[in-house]
Each structure stands twice: as structure tokens, then as C-alpha cells.
């Protein structure tokens, strides 16, 4: 396998991983009410309240809020539907670098900027919305872990770009 083919394969593998994770994290925003009920049941079944009571209390508090919103103000949850949709749309945008990485490196860089933006968003909006700091740290980890595959992809694209721009030995240049 040529260097170019190996780089392209690596780029596509990392992008596929990123897109799957992005789409899954978005898709989980659709059934939030049910997910939190399942999560609460699972935490209790695993005896988590004994070891991490703050986590269990927070999940219960959020579930109660979502239950109330779902019962009395279901339109509020429409915002999380849009959040899910945005994840899916952004995931589709990564088809560009999958198809032509050098030309569409900007999509990867845009994703890296978005990952970096998660940190100030969590630090600013978390306290405004009454989110515990430890939960904001979990939210910020999505940006940290999201930027890792994108950084790897960007480095590989830059190497691919250098390989693509190198003159082919034996060919005359005008």
C-alpha cells in the first residue's frame, strides 16, 4: 500500500469514528426523558447512590425536570430535538473531508474550533443554568475527546497534502 493510500485510509477511519460518535451523541438527545428514566433505574440497580450520591441526586433532579417539561411544556424539549438534528447535520458535513480531505480540511478545522468552543460554553452557561461544576467538566470532556481524532486527521491531511504536492520522480516539469 502506498503512503498516500495508507494516509487516506487512516484519515477515513478516524473520520468515520468521529462521525459515528457525533451522530450517536446527537441521536441520544431525542429520547432524553426515557434515557434519564433508564439511567436512574440502572444507577439504582448498580447501587451507585451509595457511592456517588451527588450523581444520583443530579440525575433524579434532571429527570424530574424533564418529566415536568414533557408533561406540561413539551415544546421546551423541541430544543433538544434541534440539538440532535444539529449533531446529525454536522456529522454529514464530514463527508466532504472523507471524500476529498485536502480540499475540505476546513471542515476538520471547523470541528476543532467547535470542540474548543464547548469549554467556554460550559464554563459560562453551566453556572447560569445551575449545572454543577463536575457536570460541566463532563460536558467539556466532549470537546477534549472530540478534538483528539480531529487533530490526528488534520495532521494526516497535512502529510497527504505534502505528498500530493511533491513532484513525481521522472516527470519533466515545465
pLDDT in tens, 80-107: 999 999 999 999 999 999 999 999 999 9
Closest among 36, 78, 29, 81 to 55, alpha carbons compared: 36
| Whole-model pTM over 0.75 | yes
Which pLDDT tens digit goes with each residue over 14-39? 999 999 999 999 999 999 999 999 99
Instruction: Dig out the grid coordinates for 111 from the structure.
Output: 470541528
pLDDT at 165 over 90: no
Q: How many helices (H) and strands (E) does the chain have?
A: 8, 0
The rounded distance, in Å, linking the Cα atoms of 49 and 53 is 4
**Are the beta carbons of 5 and 158 closer than 8 angstroms?**
no
Predicted pLDDT at 174: 52
Distances in Å between the Cα of 64 and the Cα atoms of 70, 72, 135, 138 are 10, 12, 17, 21
Amino acid at each position: 500500500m502506498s503512503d498516500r493510500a495508507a494516509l487516506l485510509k487512516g484519515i477515513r477511519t478516524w473520520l468515520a469514528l468521529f462521525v459515528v460518535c457525533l451522530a450517536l451523541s446527537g441521536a441520544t438527545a431525542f429520547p432524553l426523558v426515557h434515557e434519564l428514566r433508564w439511567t436512574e433505574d440502572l444507577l439504582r440497580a448498580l447501587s451507585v447512590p451509595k457511592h456517588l450520591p451527588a450523581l444520583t441526586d443530579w440525575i433524579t433532579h434532571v429527570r424530574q425536570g424533564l418529566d415536568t417539561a414533557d408533561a406540561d411544556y413539551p415544546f421546551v424539549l423541541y430544543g433538544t430535538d434541534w440539538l440532535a438534528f444539529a449533531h446529525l447535520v454536522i456529522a454529514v458535513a464530514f463527508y466532504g473531508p472523507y471524500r476529498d480531505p485536502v480540499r475540505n480540511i476546513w471542515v476538520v478545522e471547523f470541528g476543532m474550533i467547535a470542540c474548543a468552543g464547548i469549554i467556554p460554553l460550559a464554563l459560562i452557561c453551566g453556572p447560569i443554568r445551575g449545572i454543577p461544576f463536575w457536570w460541566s467538566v463532563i460536558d467539556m470532556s466532549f470537546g477534549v475527546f472530540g478534538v483528539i481524532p480531529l487533530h490526528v486527521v488534520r495532521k494526516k491531511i497535512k502529510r497527504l497534502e505534502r505528498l500530493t504536492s511533491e513532484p513525481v520522480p521522472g516527470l519533466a516539469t515545465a
